[in-house]
Structure 1
Amino acid sequence: MTNLEDALGGIDVLADAETTDTVPTKSALDDKINEHFAGAVVRKDLVKAVRGNAVVPSYVLEYLLGQYAASDDESTIQAGIESVRQILATHYVNRNEHMLVKSEIRRKGRHRVIDKVTVTLNEKNDVHEAEFENLQIKSVIIDDVTVKQNPKLLVGGVWCICDIEYFHSDDQRVVPWILGSLKPIQVAGVDIDHYYEARKEFTTDEWIDLLMQSIGLNPEQFNDRGKLIALTRLIPFVERNYNVVELGPKGTGKSHTFSEFSPNGILISGGEVTVAKLFVNNASKQIGLVGFWDCVAFDEFAANRRTDQNLVNVMKNYLANKSFSRGTSIYGAEASMAFIGNTTHTVPYMLKNSDLFDELPEAYRDPAWLDRIHHYIPGWEVAPIRSEMFSTGYGFVVDYLAEILRAKRVEDFADKYEKYFTLDSSISTRDQDGIRKTFSGLMKLVHPTGEASEEEIRELLEFAIEGRKRVKDSILRIDATMRDNPVNFRYSDHAGTWTDVVSLEESQYPHLYQRDWDAQPAENAASEGSAQTHPGTIPESESISSAEALETPAETTLVEGHRDFKAGQKGVSYESLILPYVRGAASITITDPYIRMPHQGRNLADLLSLLATAKDDAEEIDVALVTAEETRVEYKHNQLLMLKSIKDASDAVGVRLKVRFDDTIHDRRIEASNGWRIDLGKGLDIWQRPSDNPFDFGRNRQEFRIIASAFSVHYVKSLAKPGEENSS
């Protein structure tokens, strides 16, 4: 028996391998982009066309495309693609072919390679030595001048184009590899004045779409709020000492920006970081990652359960003061930090049972540490990445944009909103810092000259306030002592009109967001006429199980037995056939070997959505689907993608789906942890396939569908007493 995750292992490779000869149609925006940024933009779908089996960041490929295919002329683009493919085929080192490349260097005496290079100091011999990641050679002498010009070689490594020479010596202590030349893959310089002038030719909406295309996303697939969320991931690259958290479901592209976008940022595993690696090594006095990178991002941060308390303490000081002490020395740095993690629960579940930082390791749920976070990106609002969400239009060569953003880190746009708006005086200094830094970063991205209309500034200010409010409200759930100083997250215009800012989840789930503040004096609940209410903790006495939340009097009338259905019959739905018998179940197992075709997937999605509608918003249900894997190669890919899409949609609403494949199953049944088993003669696929009429009522209401062939359903009650649910 295999899981869906295992079966999906090769899906990304299969999807990337799919190519098309169709040339994307250029939009009016694409023409405008090429007109004003000729030579600095590239068609974004070309990265997939040239990547092949080269495991390199997108900015490396776009650097090469920028050299050979930065044009809107199709013949030039095709010639550029072939040039880049040839360069990669000749010079990129595949890790599993390192011996072949070494032999080539030995045969020719000199060969150019594209590889990631890391440098260390050999203190014994007093020399710097380079290590090539894919070529798998090390102890290659590199001159001090090159290291001084490229300090990132010492921390994390840099992708470079290098000439490697071979000279054998009878002295076995001498490494035969000689570094002939080294050139980091990055743009040498940018004309920022031209960047400002060209920006004036674009409307704000056009410019945002250009930025979206530049990071590889299709703006047509995102609403205005979705675009802001995507652009917020860029703030650490344009704003110094900016601290951001993004928690959300898997597969939403959280880490993509930090791993693929910029040579000025580094993505590391949250479980691999140490004080010495991140800040400074006391033994060597070598400063760590924060001294060399504009952004240090921690991937899978929520999954890190091994926590060094000393690291937490040093990080806490750095996040607040931009400095850290090690030994007797105090160091300063400008690196921003991004903490990325996956959530396993829905938002209402977290609001009811804990807080929005529920997934973080316990050591990082320290209110003092959390208070250093400037913005919380709501990752649950981001849809799982689909193929149509990738851009085929023109955008900046990412290295070009990365250098622009780096140049703007020295600027501060934090006060630009003060021309039109004033923050409430109850907002603390630390809250204001979070709001101002997020606002400043968005301004630099969207309005790089600092000029914007009142409404444009209002939109960015409200988004910045919301992100900091999300942080603060979660802290108040964790630490009740911080509620003594109520904060009104609101602003006023110069006419004196106050606007309260609330997060989207606060508006969606007010009964869960605003809880247990009775102990707070009534006069503290409002300030200067504001009626804002803060969230609180959830008393254990109010927590109820899924069974208690979903139980209805009608359940007591359920009896064992069977029901027969005839072909051509209508009026049958899962709501009457299945739902009454699974109410109150915390876990459900669906066994059906035939969930392969789109209409069968639609049936499964209908049942899962029915379970989601029937349950309490703050509860979750575990559903296991046991089905058979499609054996026909041409259909297997589609089945896996369909089930993955259903799982993404189901997980997002608190019905946590796990799919297991078992080719030996034949029976069709549903087993619920409330003790009921439903034996389904025909499984879930009981109706005729839907008609081609898009307005056929049967597409949305099962009662209008026609039963395809006769079948029976048997209801069996197990010996377990009601409420004795298993924990599976």
Structure 2
Amino acid sequence: MIFNSLFSYPNELVRQVFNNLCIDKTRLPSSGLTSAGIPSFIGEWVLDKKVPGSGSLTSSELEMLNTFIQKAFPRKNDQEEIKFDLSQGHLRKLIALMQVRVKLKPDGSLDPEPIAQIPILNLENCSIPIDIIEANRMLLKQGVWGKISLSQTHEDRPVEVIDFEPFQCSRVDLDAYARCRSHFTASQWKDLMLCSMGFNPEHAAYNQDAKTWILARLLPLVERNYHIIELAPKGTGKSFVFENISSKVTLVSGGKVTPAQLFINGRTKEVGLLGKHDVVVLDEVQSLTFDNADEIIGPLKNYLASGRYNRSGFADVSSDCSLVMLANIELDSQLRPRNEENLIANLPYFFAETAFLDRLVGIIPGWKIPKFQREATACQVGLKMDFFGEALLAMRSDNRYHNYANRHTSFGDVTIRDQQAILKSASGFLKILYPDLNLTLMDYQRDCLEPARQLRQFIRNSLYSLDDEFRQKSRDIEVKATEKSH
């Protein structure tokens, strides 16, 4: 019989409701998989297949797992050994990310024989049967993790993909997922979401405010074209969830970003990251540099506004990819931002262009999230990361949540962009916290609308300090939950 526990994390309830879609989150940290560079959404899949159970791994389980990892997961320095084996006619099986690309012939026509790429082995021209691609069309986008069988049957032929078994959860029954929500209280469900992300919801440092802003990191996954920035001191785990939740989410660490990388490669005609992924994360944007800034900022502003971009000589590319920018911020002795009136003061110059800043949905106040410590790691039963990521991403195209927000939100004197941003964030919080849409107006105001307002208020504050035009309206955004007549 399923029951709700009101006082502690409901481990048994999670197991009863989600069955094989959940996992004891203490398994992964004790496995060594993460330190081997294996993302959580793959690591948890491997654990459940090879050493199912609960609690930290035993010495015999660790030994079994380590043997499997050494055989199945190639490291960078294994490249040449694997290539040598293939050159000698041996079959090699490994677990890795694989992508497929369609080549252009010199005359500009499309080659009917696509090629597979395996980045970890630096193999870029593997032949692959068409039926494998047809069965796994996500290979043509951001790629898919799975068990790959490789062979080179003739020395004058490229390496061939003989077989492929995908690992990622490919389909989620959203109606069933929403029905699961009814077994939990609002507080229990929020804690389940935190735990599934990899955070310990019972850690004393995570008060309700901190939990809200950690969950806000999921908004770009559940909402299409959701563009946001998080400002936080080092060590709050800004990039943690994005690195581990899905191959449909990609993270670009600080340094140089090129137009070819983001938009489209002028030489190969290959679509860039914004056209391939559901979420692109630019980390450490405070140190971001561009070879040719105008070639990036202009198309990027267009993309933030319309969901389309182009480079000269190419047709428009449409995408619903969300863009997340993560930046470090300095705090004062009270752990508040040093320049609270203009939070983007120390970021690259283009953030101060109001036409750019106004196109962002909001700013996540990462300074309100405690530093990530070892004891803050999830140790309860949560959703498996691959299922969790797919469930969130599957909600992107469901308009019921935006319709609910639009029907139950009343605005004061605000701009159209303010309204659109707040409705988008409120819709996202609904998807994360109330996927069954079973809530009261008070729930909506407290858990969805007010956090959405705060996210946008940080943008409004900076715009207010940067440009007189934005002082024509009140500084504070007024918004409330209401029951509008149909």
Secondary structure in 2 matching 1:209? helix
Over alpha carbons, which structure has the higher Rg? 1
Superposed, 1:305-704 pairs within 5 Å as 305-306=289-290, 308-326=293-311, 327=313, 329-346=315-332, 347-351=336-340, 355-412=342-399, 413-417=401-405, 421-424=409-412, 426-459=413-446, 460-492=448-480
What is the aligned partner in structure 2 of residue 225 from structure 1? 209
Q: 1:273 to 1:155 in 2, by over 3 A?
A: farther
> 1:573-626 CA deviation, whole Å, 9 max, x = no partner?
xxxxxxxxxxxxxxxxxxxxxxxxxxxxxxxxxxxxxxxxxxxxxxxxxxxxxx
What is the aligned partner in structure 2 of residue 67 from structure 1? 49
Q: Is 1:51 matched with 2:36?
A: no
Q: Is 1:191 matched with 2:178?
A: no
Matched letter for residue 31 of structure 1: E
Q: Partners of 1:420 and 1:89 in 2: how far apart? A: 54
Matched letter for residue 476 of structure 1: Y
Q: 1:325 to 1:431 in 2, by over 3 A?
A: same
Aligned length: 462
Identity %: 28
Q: Highest relative contact order (Cα 8 Å, sep 6+), 1 or 2?
A: 2
Question: Per-residue deviation at 1:273?
Answer: 3.1
Unaligned runs of 5+ in 1: 1-26, 497-728
Q: Partners of 1:494 and 1:192 in 2: how far apart? A: 27
Matched letter for residue 197 of structure 2: I
Q: Which moved more, 1:246-255 or 1:43-52?
A: 43-52
Question: Per-residue deviation at 1:99?
Answer: 3.3
Q: Tell me, yes or no, if the aligned pair for 2:200 and 2:378 is still in contact at 8 Å.
A: yes
Q: Is 1:216 matched with 2:203?
A: no
Unaligned runs of 5+ in 2: 1-7
Q: Tell me, yes or no, if the aligned pair for 2:237 and 2:372 is still in contact at 8 Å.
A: yes
Q: Partners of 1:376 and 1:451 in 2: how far apart? A: 28
Q: Tell me, yes or no, if the aligned pair for 2:344 and 2:351 is still in contact at 8 Å.
A: no
Q: Partners of 2:167 and 2:256 in 1: how far apart? A: 26
Q: Tell me, yes or no, if the aligned pair for 2:461 and 2:475 is still in contact at 8 Å.
A: no
Secondary structure in 1 matching 2:346? coil
TM-score normalised according to structure 2 size: 0.86
Matched letter for residue 216 of structure 1: G
Q: Residue 31 of structure 1 is aligned with which of 9, 12, 16?
A: 12
Question: Per-residue deviation at 1:56?
Answer: 1.6
Q: Tell me, yes or no, if the aligned pair for 1:155 and 1:289 is still in contact at 8 Å.
A: no
Q: Partners of 1:180 and 1:79 in 2: how far apart? A: 33
Q: Partners of 2:320 and 2:374 in 1: how far apart? A: 36
Question: Per-residue deviation at 1:284?
Answer: 4.9
Q: 1:185 to 1:387 in 2, by over 3 A?
A: same
Question: Per-residue deviation at 1:472?
Answer: 1.2
Q: Partners of 1:156 and 1:37 in 2: how far apart? A: 28
Question: Per-residue deviation at 1:239?
Answer: 0.6
Question: Per-residue deviation at 1:50?
Answer: 2.3
> 1:535-574 CA deviation, whole Å, 9 max, x = no partner?
xxxxxxxxxxxxxxxxxxxxxxxxxxxxxxxxxxxxxxxx
Matched letter for residue 404 of structure 2: K
Question: Per-residue deviation at 1:486?
Answer: 3.0
Question: Per-residue deviation at 1:290?
Answer: 2.4
Q: Partners of 2:96 and 2:242 in 1: how far apart? A: 19
What is the aligned partner in structure 2 of residue 290 from structure 1? 274
Q: Is 1:166 matched with 2:152?
A: yes
Matched letter for residue 196 of structure 1: A
Q: Tell me, yes or no, if the aligned pair for 1:46 and 1:81 is still in contact at 8 Å.
A: no
Superposed, 1:107-186 pairs within 5 Å as 109-124=90-105, 126=111, 127-147=113-133, 150=136, 153=139, 157-169=143-155, 171=156, 174-175=157-158, 177-186=159-168
